[in-house]
Amino acid sequence: MRVWMIGCGNMAGAMLTRWIESGAVKAEAVDVVNRKDRALPAGVRQARALPTGAAPDIVVLGVKPQQLDEVAGHYADRVAGAPILLSILAGVDAAVLTRAFPGPVPVPMMPNLPVALGQGVCVVNAPDVPTEVRARVDALLAPLGDVIWAAGTVYAAAAVLAGCGPAYLFRFIDALARAAEAMGVAHDDAARLALATVRGAAALAATDPRSPGALADAVASPGGTTRAGLNVLDDGAALDRLMQATLAASAARAEEMAAAARG
């Protein structure tokens, strides 16, 4: 599969790393265009313009949403002959993509950074694409982790959970560590313990047949120490309300960005 990537920073770079490590895409089949050379997997070509010659099987758009018009001005003509335009731009829907890049089938999606390990989530928002396009996108995304197709408000919610979720969890790890540090654990030990606890708990939740709620109950002895802590998180649904407000803020920002992109 031949791939062109327009913009290949943190997120698109994570996807590229996994594609190459998994063997889904060969490094020499990838052309990246960015404004300066970056550390990319060996064998990937990078330049300040798309290559000449036949269009690839897929074009991946990996710039910031605010850079869409600029890159469309440079590359829309070259991209027009490609069959699929896969976009990871938050708040940029299929109609906006087609306006900027007429020709290819637009496939907006929201990945997350753990795709680099093959443990990410990709939420795809292209409900009406032809079967062969869906099959091709599914095959390309499969090595990255879970793939979910969603539309409308479900996509909006799933996209912020998947796309932003890692950042929320990184904050949670830091907050756990800071709390332990405030109680006397050395800074580095607190950071290590918090990360190891989250990693182990996530691995257990991913493999154990019990739900996260049931696993929490398995940790919390009746009248014990964990229950006392859970009572703080559960008081007035404090954690639920915090997460609802967090996702709602990200979703509202995505909607603002979508409105700006629509113009």
Ligand X SMILES: NC(=O)C1=CN([C@@H]2O[C@H](COP(=O)(O)OP(=O)(O)OC[C@H]3O[C@@H](n4cnc5c(N)ncnc54)[C@H](OP(=O)(O)O)[C@@H]3O)[C@@H](O)[C@H]2O)C=CC1
Residues that bind ligand A1CAB (CB under 6 A): 90, 163-164
Which of 92, 180 has the CB closer to ligand A1CAB?
A: 92
**Residue 87, both tokens:** 């976009």
Report d(CA 16, CA 86) in Å as an integer: 13
Tokens standing for residue 77: 């003509």
Q: Is 8 known to sit in a ligand binding site?
A: yes
Nearer Cβ to ligand A1CAB, position 85 or 90?
A: 90
Residue 90 beta carbon to ligand A1CAB: minimum distance, rounded to whole angstroms:
4
Q: Is 122 annotated as a binding residue?
A: no
Binding-site partner at residue 7 among ligand A1CAB, ligand X, none, CB < 5 to 8 Å by type: ligand X
| Contact between residue 37 and residue 13 where contact means Cβ atoms under 8 Å apart | no
**10 annotated ligand binder:** yes
Residue 83 vs 165, nearer CB to ligand A1CAB: 165
Is 11 annotated to bind a ligand? Reply is yes
Residue 156 binds what, of ligand X, ligand A1CAB, none (CB under 5 to 8 Å, by partner type)? none
Min dist. Cβ of residue 140 to ligand X (A)? 16
Residues 6+ apart with CB under 8 A from 18: 24, 115, 116, 117, 118, 120, 143, 144
Give 108's contacts (C-beta < 8 A, 6+ positions apart).
87, 89, 92, 93, 94, 97, 124, 125, 126
Minimum separation from the CB atom of position 254 to ligand X (A) = 9
What percentage of the chain's residues is helix, strand, coil (to nearest 5)? Answer: 60, 15, 30
In angstroms, give the least distance from the CB of 27 to ligand X.
17
Q: Which is nearer to ligand A1CAB, 230 or 251 (CB)?
A: 251
Among candidate residues 23, 85, 36, the one with its CA nearest the CA of residue 58: 85
Nearest one of 62, 259, 247, 260 to 160, comparing CA atoms: 247
- Smallest gap from residue 247 Cβ to ligand A1CAB (A): 12
Nearer residue to ligand X within complex by CB, 111 or 180? 111
Q: List residues binding ligand X (CB under 6 A).
A: 6-12, 33-36, 38, 62-65, 67, 70-71, 88-90, 110-113, 163
Q: How far apart are CA 7 and CA 50, in angstroms?
A: 11
d(CA 72, CA 107): 16
- Judged by beta carbon, residue 100 or residue 164, the one nearer ligand A1CAB is 164
Partner that binds at residue 111, options ligand X, ligand A1CAB, none, CB closer than 5 to 8 Å by kind? ligand X
Count Cα atoms within 13 angstroms, Cβ side, for 148. Answer: 18
Q: Which residues are annotated as a binding site for NADP(+)?
A: 6-11
Q: Which residues are annotated as a binding site?
A: 6-11
